[in-house]
Amino acid sequence: MRIVVVSGTVFGTAEEVAWRASELLSAAGLDVAYQQHWQLQELLQQEPDALLLIASTTGMGELPERLQPLVDALQAQQPDWAGRPVGIIGLGDAGYGDNFCLAADELEALADELGLVMLQDTLRLDASESVTPEQDAVPWLQEFAELLVAWSS
């Protein structure tokens, strides 16, 4: 199973989580593709069987600037990925109140529009509680890897 990891960051934390995720998913025997920035065409060429979307929230509850064009392009193009599994990890800070992890909500809306199947609830990492998000994500990632392996067999 080929899984493509997509990340959006401002300060680099979401990328650290994405690198950790890529290592862990590879170790579980999955064929992982990750790079820090994907153009839509590059992503389509990967022909993903599954996706992992990871983004921090910035501004007043927005997606990182460098990820927004890809999300817009996916919404415009609507690739035929319906029925494929997806996992979503959001990074934020509960101190932002109602804007906590809104980027993850946007990714959930995108996954829904594309007909992707959520294998487990979105992981929302709160920077006010943790300084090691890439470590805190491990139990969720292990479960995600197990669900993907079970899905593909």
Ligand X SMILES: Cc1cc2nc3c(=O)[nH]c(=O)nc-3n(C[C@H](O)[C@H](O)[C@H](O)COP(=O)(O)O)c2cc1C
Question: How many whole angstroms separate alpha carbon 112 and alpha carbon 125?
Answer: 21
Q: Is 93 in the site for ligand X (CB under 6 A)?
A: yes
Output 74 or 89, the one with its CB closest to ligand X: 89
Q: Alpha-carbon Rg of the chain, whole angstroms? A: 14
Q: Is 21 in the site for ligand X (CB under 6 A)?
A: no
Number of chain positions touching ligand X (CB under 6 A): 21
DSSP codes, 42-110 = HHHHT--SEEEEEEE-BTTTB--TTTHHHHHHHHHH--S-TT-EEEEEEEE-GGGGGGTTHHHHHHHHH
Of the candidates 37, 45, 59, 121, which one interacts with ligand X according to CB under 6 A? 59
Output 81 or 100, the one with its CB closest to ligand X: 100
Q: In this chain, which residue has its C-beta nearest to ligand X?
A: 92
Residues that bind ligand X (CB under 6 A): 9-14, 56-61, 91-93, 96, 99-102, 127
